[in-house]
Structures are given as structure tokens and as C-alpha cells.
Amino acid sequence: MSADDEPKPVPLPIAEIDKLYCTPGSLWELETVNIKGRPTTVWKNSPKSFRSFFLAKLDEYADKPLLNCAAPEPAPVSERVTYLFADVKKEAVSVAAWLVAHGVRTGDKVAVIGYNTASWIIAFTAIGLLGAVPVVVNAAVQPDSMLHCLKLTQPKIILADAISSSTLSFVTDKLKAAGVGPVFSWQNVGHLKKKKHVDVIDFKNLGTSAQAEDAVIKGTGFGVENLGPESDGIIFFTSGTTGYPKAVLSSQRASLHSIVSGTAGFMRMGLRAAGQMAPHVVDMIKELIFGPKDDPPVTLMAVPFFHVTGLSIVLKAFEDGIMMVTMRKWDVEEAVRLMTTYKINSMTGVPAILLAVMQSPNLPKDHVLLGTSYGGAPAPERMAADVKARWPDIHCFTAWGMTETNAAHTVFGGNDYIENPAGAGFALPVTEVRIVDIETKQPLPDGKKGLILARGMTLMKEYYNDAAATAKSFDKDGWFDTGDAGYLKDGILYVADRIKDIIIRGGENISSEEVENAVFLDDRVGEAAAVAVPHDILGEEVAVAVSLRPGAPKTTAEEIRQAAHGRLRSHARPVFVVVYDDLLPRNHNGKIIKTEVKKTVQELYKEHKKGEKAKAKL
């Protein structure tokens, strides 16, 4: 019998694998604590707070680079700056002392708004050092949504980049009336044309005293003694079917879970591959995958910091001493240039990012990626095989989660993922997944599609300032209604569709109502329904079906599309519009039947794309 004919060892079941490494005294030791009146399994050795985590890691990796980023505008994008962990600590401690002088205490909310810059990380770290609550606002939303986020959460102070602070300068009266604190820009705004008065601060020259900075390090004078794992940790925002973002408040413990949860994925992969291998510490497995810890990978940070996926990458960089190479905005050729210049060998983000890089003709054939993980949007089933074909030694991970689960709630990698490319992973030792009937909420058997419920330490506390939405989303046993449809098979979660009316374009959640409301501003439009159409790289794009108002002038689909263009953020702009001759299909309750609309629009879009390809060949 040849080696190829010999039967391959059968991997141990996940439950048995978890017993091998979730042992007393290990990083992955489990314990049961009471959260919201319910016993909950948690990582015993997960960081207890952002403060303790940042203080430890800023010192551990003091002389290592944390960030390489473009210099602030108006400097050219080619001008780049590197920040060591020590540089970040120095400025973050000063910013924290400045915040204390401006009345910020542990538990207070401080908004941070901006794109991927060193100042964003410094502001975020400073807020964490105080045990304050960062209110992480999406810098790409329209001004009315940004105003909504701030009014909803009422932060004591807003720290922002030039563009966001200039945007807010036009609504300072509304912010003040809503109980929102003042806005400070960490960046000079002189290069911007549209602005009113903006208060600019320089993180390098805040004038804070050595005594005040020492108090930040020692934790005196701002109430940090009240900080614990279940204290408020962070607020992100997520778009729902209401159109306006909801504020997702999570505890310190939940916000930091990915630090240990991510390494659990490594352990499972290593132990599944090696069968009965004795458990090793995660650094040893990581060395097999990424190389020695004193020469850690360099990662491309192409995901916005203001997304929950971005936070998981930031936390991993702090945990392992990884340098993040950031971009001002996504551009595949700039990404490839950075990858070759800085020998980037690790990538995390939505599938579209890796696909675009992999398909770029400018990426050298011999460029090596050691590891990648992705989630936040559906990945094409063939993606795992394509990635392995390009980089045979790469270690791939994929995950499923959402803002409300603080990113990954299920995850798998290695052969488990390669052999089940449509899957979204196994639940973690600290998470649970259940599939129930959409109407009855009764559990369904393996392989039966239904509503995905999630429970565990990763879950948010609440939708801040929205008790009704919180009550609607959680049942009495703590199960969270994800709004996604899927099924379980052999412990692997398969996400089949989304029940909630959300379009995901390259990992960016787009509320259909957001699009529909913008289209409805056109006086010619009587009805509008936004649906998703497929895209090879981004996963989905936005399309809209409309019917015209009686008496409306003859209008083309392109005219409708162009009219909506300026009212929507770039991600939410429709690429395709269908004008119905009659009313859109409705059920007996008068509601538009979006399943029918979606089917029609996708069929027409398919024909439209065929026509474009035919023209391109002429």
C-alpha cells in the first residue's frame, strides 16, 4: 500500500479538541460567571479591561513598530510615518491626562471619529487608559447619521479628524442642544475649503504635566477603581432596518474576547491537524505558522478602525506586537505597493480585499502570504481553494459574527475550512449558536435552515438608549436574534441568507431603507425597493426597483440613479435601477414582496451585465 493509499487519521471532534487546551492554568482556561443574571462561560484569563491590556502591551513591545501610516493630509499619500509602541504610549498618556483635565472620568463616553491614522489609535488608546467608553462613529456616514449617533450617545468630548470635525462644525448648536460635548480636531483643517470654526489640538503638544501623566499611569484621580470586566467597554454603530444606526454597547470583557478567541482558532487548527498531539502554548503553534515571535508578521490594515472587524485586528496587533500598515482609503494598487514595500505577509478583512489583491497583475508572483482571515461578508465558495492554489502554505481562517457579537462568534481554519468552504466555522468554547424556526422559535434539527440565534460572552450589553430594540433582540434565556438565516451541520454553521433587510457590500452594511429614503426624495418616484445584486469581488452591490408617481414625466432608470447618487454615501449608491411600468408586487397586507422584486432585478441585472460584456468585445 502506498502512502497515498493509507487512510488519513480522523481528526478528533471539536469538543474533544477543546478539552485538550482549555485546561486549568492555560490561557484558554474557562470559568463560569454571572452575566445579566445568567451563568455564562468566559475566558478566565482574558484581559479584564482595555486599560490593563494597553498598559501591559505598550510596555512589552515598547521598541517595536505598531503603525506605519500615511502622514496627515495635505501631505502626499506617499509620505509615511512609523510609530513605535512607545510613541503611541507617550502621546496616549498625554491625551488621557488632557481628557481628565477636561472632565472625563472612568465610564464617561468620548467619541472618536476618523479614518485610519495614528491619531485615531492614540485617541482610542487614551480613552481606554482611563476606563472611559470610546464611542466609535463611522466616519463615512452622511452628516445627518453622524449627528444622530452623537445625539443618541451624548459623549462628553468628541475627538475627530479634519474632515469629520469640519462636518460637525456646521451643527455645533444642534450638538450642544442635545447634550453633546465639544468637538476637537486632532488634525489641522486649513487645507479644507468647507468649514466653520474648528478647535484644533496637537497630540504631541498638549501641555500636560508630568504629574498628570503619572496619575494616568498609576490610575489615580479619575475613578478607575470602579472599572471591571462587566463595565461599559465600547460603543460601535450598526445599520438596521430603521435606516439610522443603532448604538451597540458592549462590556470590557466582551469587547476584548477576540484576544483569546483568536488564539483558540489557532489551537483548534493545530490540534485537529495533529490528532492526539499534546497541547502546546499558542506561541509555539504561531511560530510554525508565522515564524518566531521576535519577528512577527506585518499586516495590511485595509479595514476601517471604526468597524468591529478593525478593532479585532488592532487588538491582535497589540497582543502580538504586530505592525499595522494602514491606508487612507482602499485602493488595490496602493495596497499591492505597500505589500511589496513592507513585505506584508498577513491580511485580515472582508473577502473582497484579499480577492482584489490576489487578482492584481501587479502583485509579484513570488510574494508570500503566510496567513489570512476574513469575514464580515459572504466569501465565494471557491475562494478557499483559489487562495490555497496561489499560496499553498497559507493558513486561512474564516469567521461569522456581527457588531452585536463583537466580531467572530464562529470560526474555523485549516483543513476544516478548506474541506467545508461554504461554512462559517464552529462556535467557540465561549459561544453558542442555535437554529430555530423563524415563527415558533423552536430548535430545528441538523441541516434544517432557520433563524440563527447567538449566545455567549461575546454578545453586546444592549442597544444603547433603545430599550425597545434591545428587548426585541434578546429572549428571556439570553439568545440574540441575529436576523440571519442558516443551518448547522456537524457543528459547522452555514449562513444561508439574511432575514434582516441589509445589503452587505464589501463588508459594509447598507440598510435598504437608507437607500430607499434617498431615492424617495426624487419627486418622480412613487415606490422604491432596494435589493442586492451579486458582485464577484464585493459580494453584493446595491440595486433599486422603482415605480413612478402618477403623472410623473417620462424618466429613465439612469436619471433615477443619478438623482440618488449625491444623497448617499459611496457604499450605498445603486449601480442598477429598474423602473417598473406598474406598481411593485405586494402581498395582501400591502407590503412590497421583496423576494419577487429581488428575483426580477437580479435576472435583469444579469442580462444587463451580459450586454456590457458583449459591447466590450466589439
Q: CA-to-CA distance for 234 and 125, rounded, in angstroms?
A: 12
Kindly state the percentage of the chain with pLDDT values over 90: 65
CATH number belonging to domain 253-498: 3.40.50.12780
Please say whether the beta carbons of 546 and 519 come within 8 A. yes
Strands 157-160 and 431-436: unpaired
- Rounded CA-CA distance 438/436 in Å is 6
Q: Which amino acid is at 277?
A: M
Record the cell numbers describing residue 533, joined without a space.
445584486
Read off the pLDDT band of 278 (50, 70, 90): very low
Q: What is the pLDDT of residue 4?
A: 54
Strands 371-374, 346-349: pairing kind: parallel
Taking a C-beta distance cutoff of 8 angstroms, is the pair 309, 302 a contact? Answer: no
pLDDT at 2: 52
Residues 475/419, Cβ–Cβ less than 8 Å: no
Tell which residue, 254, 223, 211, 281, has the closest CA to residue 29. Answer: 281
Give the per-residue pLDDT at 276: 39
Contacts by 276-281 with C-beta closer than 8 Å and gap 24+?
276/12, 278/20, 279/20, 279/21, 279/23, 279/26, 281/26, 281/27
The 10s digit of each residue's pLDDT in 533-582 is 999 889 999 999 998 987 889 899 999 999 999 999 999 999 999 999 98
**Which residues lie across from 527 on neighbouring strands?**
547
Residues 6 or more apart whose Cβ sits within 8 Å of residue 421: 379, 381, 382, 383, 384, 385
Torsion angles phi and psi, residue 226, rounded to 5: -90, 0
Of 382, 429, 424, nearest in space to 400 by CA: 424
Q: Which of 238, 374, 388 is nearest to 313 (CA)?
A: 374
Mean residue pLDDT of the chain comes to 90
CATH architecture group of domain 50-237: 3-Layer(aba) Sandwich (3.40)
* pLDDT higher than threshold 90 for residue 11: no
Check if the beta carbon of residue 80 is closer than 8 Å to that of residue 291. Answer: no
pLDDT for residue 415 is more than 90:
no
Task: Check residue 46 and report its DSSP letter.
Answer: S
Strand partners, 435: 452
Judge whether residue 241 has pLDDT over 50: no
Where does CATH 3.40.50.12780 sit in the chain? 50-237, 253-498
Give the phi and the psi of residue 423 in degrees, each rounded to 5.
Answer: -80, 165
- How far apart CA 53 and CA 106 sit, in angstroms, is 16
The alpha carbon of residue 561 and the mean position of all alpha carbons in its chain are separated, in whole angstroms, by 28
Res 282 pLDDT > 70: no
| Strand-pair partners of 469 | none
What DSSP character marks residue 202? -
Helix residue ranges, H only, 102-187? 118-129, 143-153, 162-168, 172-177
Count of other CB atoms within 10 angstroms of residue 525: 21
The mean per-residue pLDDT over the stretch 583-600 comes to: 78
Measured between its terminal Cα atoms, the distance across the chain in Å is 57
Helix (H) or strand (E) holding 108: none
Give, in words, the CATH class of 511-616.
Answer: alpha beta
Structure confidence at residue 280 as a pLDDT band (50, 70, 90): very low
Q: What would the pLDDT profile of 298-345 be if each residue is shown by its tens digit?
A: 999 988 999 999 999 999 999 999 999 999 888 889 999 999 999 998
Q: What is the dihedral of CA 292, 298, 304, 309, to 10 degrees?
A: -20
CA-based nearest residue to 424, from 491, 371, 472, 357: 491
Residue pair 159/186 in contact (Cβ under 8 Å)? The answer is yes
Q: How many CB atoms lie within 10 A of CB 596?
A: 15
Q: Which residue has the cell 481628557?
A: 99
CB 53 within 8 A of CB 45: no
pLDDT in tens, 35-93: 999 999 999 999 999 999 999 999 999 999 999 999 988 888 889 999 999 999 999 99
Band of residue 201 on the pLDDT scale cut at 50, 70, 90: very high
Backbone φ and ψ for 565, nearest 5 degrees, come out as -55, -50
Q: Per-residue confidence at 121, pLDDT binned at 50, 70, 90?
A: very high
Q: What is residue 278's DSSP assignment?
A: P
Q: How far apart are CA 96 and CA 217, in angstroms?
A: 10
**Cα 542 to Cα 534: distance, rounded to the nearest angstrom:** 9
Q: Please state, in angstroms and rounded to a whole number, the distance separating the CA atoms of residues 180 and 175.
A: 5
DSSP 76-96: -TT-EEEEEHHHHHHHHHHHH
Query: Would you state the pLDDT for residue 565?
Result: 92
The whole-angstrom separation of Cα 326 and Cα 305 is 10
The arithmetic mean of pLDDT across residues 373-399, rounded, is 85
Q: What angle do CA 92, 96, 98 make, to 5 degrees?
A: 115
Choice between 147 and 359, residue whose per-residue pLDDT is larger: 147
> In the block, which residue shows the cell 476606563?
131
Contact 401, 452 (CB under 8 A): no
Q: Does the pTM of the predicted model rise above 0.95?
A: no
Cell of 208: 500636560
Q: Which of 285-299, 484-498, 532-546 has the lowest mean pLDDT?
A: 285-299
Distance CA 182, CA 158 (A): 6
Pick the closest to residue 407 from 572, 571, 256 (CA basis).
Answer: 256
DSSP structure string for 540-554: EEEEEEEEEPTTPPP
> Are the C-beta atoms of residues 269 and 74 closer than 8 Å to each other?
no
Q: What Rg, from alpha-carbon coordinates, does the chain have?
A: 25
Q: What angle do CA 359, 409, 468 make, to 5 degrees?
A: 115
Q: Confidence band (pLDDT; 50, 70, 90) for 360?
A: confident
The Cα–Cα gap between 115 and 350 comes to: 17
SS3 289: helix
Q: Give CA 287 to chain center in angstroms.
A: 27
Decide if pLDDT at 244 tops 90: no
